[in-house]
């Protein structure tokens, strides 16, 4: 409690948070806002993050999106509460299930993912989809700024959208992270297109080239060699 009190006292003396490259917006400002959303990235910039991260993964139709894990939609969005979307998950949610549901970005097209609302990363009990989706937020996160269930919905961002948001929110540096695929690679799309890890890597880099982001402003990370 003493540490929190001192932090609050310090914050009350600051009018403007100066940008620092020692401050990295990991998933944006994910303790306060649903991670990898416009709200989260904007908040990270306002709070002084000189570097903002987009964990990059891919969809069923090979579009790049920002998600901490390829298969975390069941804990970071409202997907299990949307029956037609839940049914398409690798492992759909069902009341009382003993195993965890598993919903991956590669289960869906980008158009489908854009219909979802992001929420704080958490899961509750399994008596109902609503309990699973909206229960269990840990005490070190907050639902105060979560837009799920209101008239406003923080949607999943594409990698390209994150680049533009981070750039206009205060000229922060970029820290894209190529995530370890949650599906077997190479990945084959429904139309038979074969997508390799090398193509995945190159697609991330190409987004910065298209956006004309200076090379020195991009700190590319990867869990994949």
Structurally, the chain folds into a number of domains equal to 1
SS3 of 79, please?
helix
Location of structure tokens 């975390």: 72
DSSP for 111-176 reads HHHTT--B--S----SSSHHHHHHS---TTS-STT--TTSS---PPPBHHHHHHHHHHTT--EEEE
Residue 55 counted as domain residue: yes
Residue 192 counted as domain residue: yes
CATH label of the domain that carries residue 164: 3.20.20.190
Domain with 30, as residue range(s), is 19-222
pLDDT digits (tens, 9 = 90+) for 33-76: 999 999 999 999 988 899 999 999 999 999 999 999 999 999 99
Is residue 64 within 8 A of residue 207, CB to CB? The reply is yes
- Report the C-alpha gap between 105 and 159 in whole angstroms: 13
pLDDT above 80 for 151: no
Residue 7 counted as domain residue: no
Residue 5 counted as domain residue: no
Q: What b-and-e string marks burial along 74-113, b requiring 16 or more CB atoms within 10 Å of the CB?
A: bbbbbbbbbeebbebbeebbeeeeeeebbbbbbbbbbebb
| Whole-number pLDDT of residue 1 | 42
pLDDT above 80 for 7: no
When mean pLDDT is compared across 14-23, 137-146, 159-168, the lowest value belongs to 14-23
Most confident of 17-31, 36-50, 78-92, 167-181: 78-92
- Report the C-alpha gap between 187 and 71 in whole angstroms: 14
SS3 of 4, please?
helix
Average pLDDT over the chain reads: 91
SS3 of 39, please?
helix
Burial of 157 (0-12, 13-18, 19+ CB in 10 A): buried
Q: Average pLDDT in the 134-144 region?
A: 87
Residue 37 counted as domain residue: yes
**Confidence category of residue 192, pLDDT binned at 50, 70, 90:** very high
| Whole-number pLDDT of residue 225 | 64
More confident residue, 152 or 53: 53
Q: Average pLDDT in the 159-178 region?
A: 90
pLDDT above 80 for 90: yes
More confident residue, 57 or 146: 57
When mean pLDDT is compared across 9-18, 61-70, 104-113, 168-177, the lowest value belongs to 9-18
- Report the C-alpha gap between 51 and 82 in whole angstroms: 34
Residue 162 counted as domain residue: yes
**Confidence category of residue 148, pLDDT binned at 50, 70, 90:** low
| Whole-number pLDDT of residue 149 | 52
Q: Average pLDDT in the 166-170 region?
A: 81
């Amino acid at each position: 409690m003493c540490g929190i009190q001192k932090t609050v006292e310090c914050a009350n003396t600051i009018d403007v948070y100066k940008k620092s490259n020692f401050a990295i917006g990991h998933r944006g400002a994910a303790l306060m806002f649903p991670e990898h959303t416009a709200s989260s990235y904007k908040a990270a910039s306002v709070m002084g993050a000189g570097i903002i991260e987009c964990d990059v993964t891919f969809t069923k139709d090979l579009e790049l999106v920002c998600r901490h894990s390829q298969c975390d939609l069941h804990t970071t969005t409202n997907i299990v509460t949307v029956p037609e979307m839940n049914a398409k998950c690798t492992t759909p949610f069902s009341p009382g299930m003993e195993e965890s549901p598993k919903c991956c970005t590669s289960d869906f097209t980008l158009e489908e993912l854009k219909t979802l609302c992001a929420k704080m990363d958490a899961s509750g009990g399994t008596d109902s989809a609503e309990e699973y989706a909206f229960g269990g937020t840990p005490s070190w996160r907050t639902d105060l700024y979560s837009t799920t269930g209101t008239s406003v919905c923080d949607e999943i961002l594409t990698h390209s959208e994150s680049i533009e948001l981070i750039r206009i929110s205060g000229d922060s540096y970029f820290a894209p992270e190529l995530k370890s695929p949650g599906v077997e690679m190479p990945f084959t799309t429904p139309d038979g297109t074969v997508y390799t890890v090398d193509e995945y890597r190159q697609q991330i880099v190409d987004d910065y080239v298209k956006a004309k982001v200076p090379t020195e402003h991009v700190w590319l990370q990867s869990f994949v060699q």
